[in-house]
Structure 1
Amino acid sequence: MQYGDHLYSKGNHDGAVQQYIRTIGKLEPSYVIRKFLDAQRIHNLTAYLQTLHRQSLANADHTTLLLNCYTKLKDSSKLEEFIKTKSESEVHFDVETAIKVLRQAGYYSHALYLAENHAHHEWYLKIQLEDIKNYQEALRYIGKLPFEQAESNMKRYGKILMHHIPEQTTQLLKGLCTDYRPSLEGRGDREAPGCRANSEEFIPIFANNPRELKAFLEHMSEVQPDSPQGIYDTLLELRLQNWAHEEDPQVKPGRATRGVEKNIALPFLLWLPLARFRSITPHPEGLNGSP
């Protein structure tokens, strides 16, 4: 350390950093880091931090500092060399910290690389949807995730995806709620039994997309007859709304209840049109108010 200090005091920063590198594991890194930060010797600081990481002695703050050095130097080759390790055992830094720093610096492709390769799904989708606004890619990514993660991310991001790419989003939801298997790209087992989400829980996603909602509800009622009651109730309500606005009298008969009769309780079926269009509130005891 003393020889390193001597070289540093003489202005030989390159020689000094080589001496300080030899003290890694013995000398507190903050001592060296402060020296080169104060002197604004970013190249020397980068060399020291790189060695600190290679010896697996770096913490999250060191990773943040090193990545900031790379981005300030605009050294993309060194940055890629640092993040594109061949295996998990070769990762000498906190991945989530690196993703945050790269995202903040605008290095989105590098941040996405880390997020995808280290299964930080939430960060991958955040960057695609909030920064790059690549909705197609975000939906593709969700479609290759395991069931539980695909389900939770569709609940989280379904509305924004429905707003921008309604048809593709509806297709994924149909699969998710019937017989979901991750896409082959996600290396899922296509022969394994599929999973299915509760279709009723996704109805709010279609709040501003009645056409896609109708397609989704009709698909669920046809493909999965044991769908939750809310699917049939919402489908009937949607058809009644369409029926109320239908101007062709020859089209009206039977349209509202087609395909849903056997799944709607008779009292509800009798009462709902009246309640909708005459503002009648049903009595809990029965349709006519008597027990």
Structure 2
Amino acid sequence: MTLIRVVMVAPDMAEPEHTALLLKCYTKLKDFTTLEEFLKTTPPSQYDHATAIEVLESAAYHGLAAEVAQKVGSHDDFVRISLEQFKNYGTTVQFLHSLPRVEAGRILLNYGRTLMRHAPKETVKLIRHVCNLRGQPMDGQALQAESQGPTVDELLPVFADDLQQLEVFLRSVLVDDGCQLPQAQAERLFPTLLELLVKSHSSLHADGNIPAEKQEMASCIAADIMRLIRQYPSDAALANTLMVCQAFGFVDGFFHAAERLHRHQLLMQWCFEHKDAKRLLEVCKRYGPADQSLWVQALSFLASPESGGGHLEEMGEVLRHIEDSDLMPLLLVIETLRSSNEVTIGDVRPYLQAQYRRLVESAETSRAKSTQDRQEIARMQQEIIQLRTQAKEFQNTRCFQCGLTLEVPAVHFFCGHSYHAYCVPPDGTCPKCSSGALPKLSLKEQREAQARNAEDFFKYLQGGAGDSGIQAMGEWCKFGAFDASMASMDLEDEED
């Protein structure tokens, strides 16, 4: 042993084997006093640290092994021995407090779960210290040394065995005391806290009827969830909110996220699945002005057997809106209502009466307009006959273009306007009337060309069904598709 000690003292001659041999000799002799004196008086540079710790642990001298590990700066070994052999959880937390944040964070990732199980409050304080959540600004060299410390999301595995502590910790970091983190880091932690809160809220409602005290707790958690959701309004955060709230059935959060993301069809689908006619009506009222098809979908669902029945009041309100906004033809509404087993004529009588009055008024208006059009056509036909059979006197003395006295040669149009020959445009049309006549002539030519295209007509007709098909035929009637003159023109084209 003396020879080994001499070798170890000599520069560049000590090897790990010498350390192991010497310490094993001490431990075999059970000479604790000499061994302790050797470790205290011998500089660490004269023996191999890792070998010394390993030999001492194998001989059950855990206290000496911990002293050596602390003395030589082997922090991992010291924490491991303190936790595994002495269960000194509080002392270990205090020791980690004394280390640089980077080193403490690294060790926490390895042993943090053990510390969280046995000293949760002290470990949470340590995590706040390591992540610099103390609210104490640093400057100069301290800031540079601490800038590379771990972030909160990197230390989340420490809470793997205690999700309740994780919820409390994240609430204190993100909500209760105001956000103490940069926005980007807070956005990464937001889904984790949201899921924990929604799970807690869902667990309180798992049994159905809950006592008053739990009901109050659930209301507080729901308020905290909505406050958290409103605190993070970005699209990415709302997408996470939508997914989490839908998975755990938190309706208020789901509706808030879907509304902000303009996912109205998701809201409608939720109402369909849960047969919630009242919420369905609220969705239609709020977002119907932007998407009128929601009302049509609502009527189809309320009239279907899948709705479960019992929604006559909501159905009546949907019908009133459809009537006021003229969203569906009468026949389509009747076809939709026919699928309901509980709707009777009496339930929809007000709607049918209103539609009947509307149709009568529309027919009367159309009849009056038709009479007016026929009178106008008769007047124009009489005027054409007069122009063909009777002489027309032109008594204008001034040109309608330049305003000077008319001189020969002058041009007189049947519309009653007169011009100098040099005031008439090259196309030979009346300057006063051509601005209004040319668009009408162009529209007439366009409709005539369209009316000749039978293939487009049948495509247009096949695209509509029921009332839509009738409307399609009416539109093409306006184009003159069924006029005798158009048929004769088509025959001439075929003969050519």
Same fold (TM over 0.5): yes
Amino acid at match of 1:115: A
Q: Does residue 85 in structure 1 map to residue 41 in structure 2?
A: yes
From 164, 170, 173, the counterpart of 1:211: 164
**Identity between Structure 1 and Structure 2 (%):** 30
Name the structure with the higher helix share.
2
Shift of the alpha carbon at 1:149?
A: 0.8
Shift of the alpha carbon at 1:48?
A: 2.2
Distance 1:239 1:64 in 2: 54
Partner of 1:257: 226
Amino acid at match of 2:226: T
Distance 1:137 1:147 in 2: 17
Q: Point out where structure 2 has 5 or more consecutive residues left out of the alignment.
A: 205-209, 255-260, 267-496
Q: Does residue 231 in structure 1 map to residue 179 in structure 2?
A: no
8 Å contact kept, 1:178–1:197: no
Shift of the alpha carbon at 1:147?
A: 1.7
Secondary structure class of the residue paired with 1:228: helix
8 Å contact kept, 1:200–1:228: no
Partner of 2:245: 273
Distance 1:190 1:260 in 2: 37
Partner of 2:85: 131
Shift of the alpha carbon at 1:165?
A: 1.3
8 Å contact kept, 1:162–1:206: yes
Partner of 2:10: 55
Partner of 1:243: 201
Deviates more, 1:255-264 or 1:140-149: 255-264
Distance 2:62 2:78 in 1: 10
Alpha carbons of structure 1 residues 271 and 79: separation in structure 2 relative to 1, 3 Å: closer
Q: Does residue 122 in structure 1 map to residue 90 in structure 2?
A: no
Shift of the alpha carbon at 1:55?
A: 2.5
Distance 1:117 1:51 in 2: 22
Q: Deviations over 1:206-243 (max 9, x none)?
A: 12212211221012213514243232211111111222
Q: Deviations over 1:141-183 (max 9, x none)?
A: 22211121111111111111111211111111122223479xx
Number of equivalenced pairs: 233
Q: Deviations over 1:6-40 (max 9, x none)?
A: xxxxxxxxxxxxxxxxxxxxxxxxxxxxxxxxxxx
Answer with 1 or 2: which has the greater Rg: 2
8 Å contact kept, 2:16–2:48: yes
Query: Counterparts of 1:178-189 in structure 2 under 5 Å?
Result: 178-179=132-133
Q: Deviations over 1:233-279 (max 9, x none)?
A: 1111111122223334455252322344222533443453222229x
Amino acid at match of 1:192: A
Amino acid at match of 1:263: Y
Question: What is the root-mean-square deviation in Å for CA atoms of aligned residues?
Answer: 3.2
Shift of the alpha carbon at 1:132?
A: 2.5
Shift of the alpha carbon at 1:114?
A: 1.2
Normalised to the residue count of structure 2, the TM-score between the two structures is: 0.42
Structure number with greater CO (CA < 8 Å, separation at least 6) is 1
8 Å contact kept, 2:191–2:241: no
8 Å contact kept, 2:133–2:180: no
